[in-house]
Amino acid sequence: MANRSTPGPPSLATLFLSFLAIGSTSFGGGLLGWIRRELVERRGWIDDQQFLVCFGISQMVPGATNVNLSVIVGTQLRGVPGALVAISGLLLAPFAILLALGTLYFAARNVPGSGTLNAALVGAGAAAIGFNIATGIRLAHHNIRRVGPALVAGAIIIGIGILRIPLLEVLLVMLPASLAVTLLERAR
């Protein structure tokens, strides 16, 4: 899988700082995009294929997908310490900010932020959604080369995005379907 000159596993400090940066930049959303940008594009610690596998696993496990993803990538890079460092780096800044926001809220008894700030947050959130979709498009561009997998991805987009079928139900149908497609293509 290491087709390009893949760098060795990062030090725990570097890994922590990377996830600290991811957690600190993703306010408003776009976390998945930030994770891929940092780990795949900037650092080259994992490639797209590994990223997709880790992401796939993180979705089948309960809990916040991005936290699971961080744990799985951390484990892959540096074992248990890697997982611990990744999750603490990811959560540190958001946790600190929320404590501060909470203190403000409990003192003032209302949600801080005027209409303008709220509008700005909605705008950043809307852009963050675009960032995640763009990440998906880039991944598709680099990794989907055949009709079968393209149909699988398309069916999922319609199922969850348009028809709003719950994720778990879609996965239960589409994972076996994708497996069948892969086996069929291999058989040919």
- Min separation Cβ 2 and another protein, Å: 13
- Min separation Cβ 111 and another protein, Å: 5
**Cα-based distances in Å from 134 to 106, 171, 182:** 38, 22, 25
Question: Is the dihedral angle over the CA atoms 177, 182, 186, 188 positive or is it negative?
Answer: positive
- Min separation Cβ 31 and another protein, Å: 5
Q: What is the CA radius of gyration of the chain?
A: 19
Q: How far apart are the first and last CA of the chain?
A: 23
DSSP string, 115-137: HHHHHHHHHHHHHHHHHHHHHHH
Q: Residue 57: in which H helix or E strand, if any?
A: helix 48-60
- Min separation Cβ 78 and another protein, Å: 12
**Cα-based distances in Å from 75 to 15, 19, 56, 81, 106:** 11, 13, 15, 8, 38
Residue 14 or 53 having the CB closest to another protein: 53
Residue 12 or 87 having the CB closest to another protein: 87
- Min separation Cβ 11 and another protein, Å: 20
